[in-house]
Amino acid sequence: MNRLSWQLPVALGCLILGILIAVLFRSQQSLGPPPTKRIEEMAFMVRDLEKENNKLMAELSQMRSRVGDLEKSLSEGSSKTQAMMSLLNSAKLQAGLVPLVGPGITVTLKDSLKRPKVGEDSWLYLIHDVDLEALVNELWAAGAEAIAINSQRIAANTAIRCAGPIILVNSERLSPPYILGAIGPSQELDAALRMQGGFLDSMAPSIRNGVEVKIKQEESVKLPAFEGSLVIRYAKPLEKKEGGP
């Protein structure tokens, strides 16, 4: 009885295992070797890929040849290319599109810390847009090559105007202290601001009321590039007529 208790499950397990092995064997035989048609299709795909690869390699070779021709052409006309680049860089410099460094002066302007007396106008206690405009014009006339106020480069279309307690330069809000940097002949720029009837003289009433104006000659003044828009939408070059003035 005890022998049958373990022999029966073992025999049953062997029978099931045998059936599974037979089923797997027959399934493998029914699959057979890979079909010839599939092998031929794969061979055609390989040949097509090789043809496409050869075509791309030929195009790459042609492109390299063209690049070589362009490089040769540029090397032969390098003087013209350099002349064009020189003109472009000069135009960008004059338009204020590149940051600059050079000798010059800095002018620091601060509002007065004093309070106007009762009934007294506060005009002479503050720095105004017209003061900055007068300062910029004075420096241009004295030979300044580039000017910036705080972080704003002065360009051809720069506007300096009042907007309540602040001043707009290139439509950017600036508040005191206003630090103006100018690149140019430092001694001449300094002298122009200090001469009789110059900028300091015009600011004298405000200075007496506590407005601060400091002028300092500098060996190196760094100015940022102009970041505003230089797009011209309405103005067009005027073509000169033949035989005309």
pLDDT confidence of residue 216: 97
For 237, list phi and psi in degrees, rounded to 5.
-60, 135
Low-confidence ranges of the chain (pLDDT < 70): 1-50, 52-54, 56-57, 59-61, 63-85, 88, 242-245
pLDDT confidence of residue 232: 81
pLDDT confidence of residue 60: 53
pLDDT confidence of residue 164: 78
Which distant-in-sequence residues (6+ apart) come within 8 Å of 146 by Cβ? Answer: 96, 100, 102, 153, 154, 182, 183, 184, 223
CB 128 within 8 A of CB 162: yes
Rounded CA-CA distance 180/84 in Å is 33
Q: Enumerate the domain spans of the chain.
A: 7-91, 99-223
pTM: 0.65
pLDDT confidence of residue 4: 47
Task: Choose among 76, 184, 201, 109: nearest CA to 139.
Answer: 184
Helix pair angle (78-94, 36-76), 10° resolution: 80
pLDDT confidence of residue 211: 97
* Arch. (CATH architecture) of 99-223: 2-Layer Sandwich (3.30)
Which tens digit of pLDDT belongs to each residue from 58-102?
765 676 566 556 555 555 555 666 666 677 678 778 888 899 999
Q: Which amino acid is at 76?
A: E
Which tens digit of pLDDT belongs to each residue from 16-33?
656 665 555 555 554 455
